[in-house]
Amino acid sequence: MKTGLGRVLERVRNDESGSAVVEFVFVGILLTFLTLGVLQLGLALHVRNTIQDAASEGARWGALIDSTPAEGVQRTKELITTAVGDQYAQDIAVSSQQWMGAPATVITVKAPLPMIGLWGPATSMEVSGHAATEVLH
């Protein structure tokens, strides 16, 4: 013979009313975080590719015969600032070196990797653009 408390506990254990709402909330939260993660990954890849393209374009600009490496840095800064913002164009360096056996202009950009929206830890991403330096023979 069950006591009154035992019958109430048995009824609560076997009652599934309201479980659909809880399952919906759990699945909704999971899908929301999954969607936000995919969007954030897309944003991070967009920022990286944009900075990579700007570094390459700046290196090509600075490698021209009638241009200087400093002008390549300025071009890189302009492209990054226009595309993704000034906070990504803070640390840009230029060097002249041998690359694949030819003199080259190399522009390196260190920028934050966006982790939450467009914010992230400083100098966590480094990309370089290379271009063969034009020379007169």
Q: What is the DSSP string of 31-62?
A: HHHHHHHHHHHHHHHHHHHHHHHHHHHHHHHH
For residue 105, list its beta bridge partners. Answer: 96, 131
Q: Say what the pLDDT of residue 56 is.
A: 96
The string of pLDDT tens digits covering residues 86-127 is: 989 989 999 999 888 889 999 999 998 888 877 767 558 899
Q: What are phi and psi of 82, to 5 degrees?
A: -70, -40
Taking 60 as the threshold, does the pLDDT of residue 1 lie above it? no
Q: Say what the pLDDT of residue 28 is.
A: 96
Q: Say what the pLDDT of residue 137 is.
A: 75
Determine which of 14-23, 36-45, 121-130 has the lowest per-residue pLDDT on average: 14-23
DSSP 86: G
Q: Say what the pLDDT of residue 18 is.
A: 72
